Amino acid sequence: MNPFSSGTRLRDMIRSIRGCKTAAEERAVVRKECASIRAAISDNDNDYRHRNMAKLMFIHMLGYPTHFGQMECLKLIAAPGFPEKRIGYLGLMLLLDERQEVLMLVTNSLKQYPTKISFPFSYIHAALCSIRIIKKVPDLAENFVNPAASLLKEKHHGVLLTGIQLCTDLCEVSTEALEFFRKKYTEGLVKVLKDVVNSPYAPEYDISGIADPFLHIRLLRILRVLGHGDTDASDCMNDILAQVATKTESNKNAGNAILYECVETIMSIEDSSGLRVLAINILGRFLSNRDNNIRYVALNMLMRAITVDSQAVQRHRATILECVKDLDASIRKKALELVYLLVNENNVTSLSKELIDYLEVTDQEFKGDLTEKICSIVEKFSPEKIWYIDQMLKVLSLAGNYVKDEVWHALIVVISNASNLHGYTVRLLYRAVQLSGEQEILVRVAVWCIGEYGEMLVNSIGMLEKEEPITVTECDAIDVIESACKQYSTDLATRAMCLVALLKLSCRFPSSSQRIQDIIAQNKGSLLLELQQRSIEFDSILQKHQNIRSALCERMPVLDESTYVGRRAGSLPAAVSTSQGAVLDLSNGVGKPSAAPLVDLLDLSSDDTPVPNSSGNDFLHDLLGVDLSIASTETGTNQAQKSGADVLMDLLSIGTLPSQSSLSSFDGLFSSRDNSASVGGLENLSSNTTLPVQASTESGGFPMMDLLDALSPSEQNREDSGPTYPSVVAYESSSLRITFNFSKQPGNVRTTLVEANFVNKSSNAYTDFIFQAAVPKFLQLHLDPASNNVLPASGNGLITQKLRVVNSQHGKKSLVMRIRIAYKLNDKDVKEEGQISNFPPGL
The Cα angle at residue 281 between residues 280 and 282, in degrees rounded to 5: 95
Measured from the CB atom, the residue of 263 and 753 that comes closer to other proteins is 263
Please name the residues in contact with 76: beta carbons below 8 A apart, sequence gap of 6 or more: 49, 50, 53, 84, 85, 87, 88, 91
In the chain, how many H helices and how many E strands? 34, 10
Measured from the CB atom, the residue of 293 and 808 that comes closer to other proteins is 293
Of 41, 34, 95, 93, the residue nearest 67 (C-alpha): 95
Helix H or strand E segment including 752: strand 751-760
Measured from the CB atom, the residue of 141 and 730 that comes closer to other proteins is 141
Task: Please report how close the Cβ of residue 202 comes to other proteins at its closest, in angstroms.
Answer: 9
Backbone phi, then psi, for 771, in 5-degree steps? -115, 130
Q: Strand 798-807 to strand 210-211: parallel, antiparallel, or no bridges (unpaired)?
A: unpaired
Backbone phi, then psi, for 743, in 5-degree steps? -155, 155
Identity at 583, one-letter amino acid code: V
Measured from the CB atom, the residue of 165 and 571 that comes closer to other proteins is 165
Measured from the CB atom, the residue of 7 and 557 that comes closer to other proteins is 7
Task: Please report how close the Cβ of residue 312 comes to other proteins at its closest, in angstroms.
Answer: 22
Measured from the CB atom, the residue of 199 and 420 that comes closer to other proteins is 199
Task: Please report how close the Cβ of residue 162 comes to other proteins at its closest, in angstroms.
Answer: 6
Task: Please report how close the Cβ of residue 257 comes to other proteins at its closest, in angstroms.
Answer: 3
Report the largest interatomic distance among the alpha carbons of the chain, rounded to a whole angstrom.
113
Rounded Cα gap, residues 374 and 362, in angstroms: 13
Rounded Cα gap, residues 140 and 130, in angstroms: 10
Measured from the CB atom, the residue of 69 and 644 that comes closer to other proteins is 69
Rounded Cα gap, residues 279 and 616, in angstroms: 59
Full DSSP string of 548-600: HHHHHTSPPPPP-HHHHHHHHHHSSS--GGGGG-PPP-GGG-PPPP-SS----
Tell me which residues touch other proteins (CB under 8 A). Answer: 10-11, 14, 18, 54, 57-58, 61-63, 81-83, 86-87, 90, 93-94, 97-99, 124-125, 128-129, 131-132, 157-158, 161-162, 165, 203-205, 207, 212-215, 217, 221, 253-254, 256-257, 260-261, 264, 292-293, 295-297, 300, 327-331, 333
Measured from the CB atom, the residue of 335 and 407 that comes closer to other proteins is 335
Rounded Cα gap, residues 473 and 446, in angstroms: 16
Of 388, 406, 409, 392, the residue nearest 622 (C-alpha): 409
Q: Are 652 and 598 in contact (CB under 8 A)?
A: yes
> Bridge partners of 707?
none
Q: Are 232 and 269 in contact (CB under 8 A)?
A: no
Task: Please report how close the Cβ of residue 163 comes to other proteins at its closest, in angstroms.
Answer: 11
Measured from the CB atom, the residue of 10 and 78 that comes closer to other proteins is 10
Q: Around Cβ 515, how many Cβ atoms within 10 Å?
A: 18
Rounded Cα gap, residues 399 and 369, in angstroms: 11
Task: Please report how close the Cβ of residue 339 comes to other proteins at its closest, in angstroms.
Answer: 16
Measured from the CB atom, the residue of 293 and 417 that comes closer to other proteins is 293
Rounded Cα gap, residues 256 and 216, in angstroms: 12
Measured from the CB atom, the residue of 300 and 638 that comes closer to other proteins is 300
Measured from the CB atom, the residue of 364 and 490 that comes closer to other proteins is 364
Measured from the CB atom, the residue of 296 and 388 that comes closer to other proteins is 296
Task: Please report how close the Cβ of residue 175 comes to other proteins at its closest, in angstroms.
Answer: 19
Chain centroid to CA 9: 55
Rounded Cα gap, residues 189 and 303, in angstroms: 27
SS3 for 664?
coil
Task: Please report how close the Cβ of residue 238 comes to other proteins at its closest, in angstroms.
Answer: 21
Measured from the CB atom, the residue of 219 and 657 that comes closer to other proteins is 219
What separation in angstroms does the CA of 93 have from each of 97, 132, 147, 811? 7, 17, 29, 53
Identity at 805, one-letter amino acid code: V
Task: Please report how close the Cβ of residue 94 comes to other proteins at its closest, in angstroms.
Answer: 8
Query: What b/e string do you get for 612-633 counting C-beta neighbours within 10 Å, with b at 16 or more?
Result: bbbbbbbbbbbbbbbbbbbebe
Q: Are 745 and 751 in contact (CB under 8 A)?
A: yes
Of 148, 234, 244, the residue nearest 195 (C-alpha): 244
Q: Are 539 and 556 in contact (CB under 8 A)?
A: no
Measured from the CB atom, the residue of 139 and 204 that comes closer to other proteins is 204
Measured from the CB atom, the residue of 261 and 539 that comes closer to other proteins is 261
DSSP 368: H
Please name the residues in contact with 805: beta carbons below 8 A apart, sequence gap of 6 or more: 751, 752, 754, 775, 779, 780, 781, 782, 815, 817, 843
Task: Please report how close the Cβ of residue 374 comes to other proteins at its closest, in angstroms.
Answer: 20
Rounded Cα gap, residues 49 and 819, in angstroms: 77
Task: Please report how close the Cβ of residue 204 comes to other proteins at its closest, in angstroms.
Answer: 5
Measured from the CB atom, the residue of 330 and 434 that comes closer to other proteins is 330
Full DSSP string of 399-439: HGGGS-HHHHHHHHHHHHH-GGGHHHHHHHHHHHHHH-TT-
Full DSSP string of 444-500: HHHHHHHHHHHHHHHHTTT--TTPPP----HHHHHHHHHHHHHHTTT-HHHHHHHHH
Measured from the CB atom, the residue of 18 and 718 that comes closer to other proteins is 18
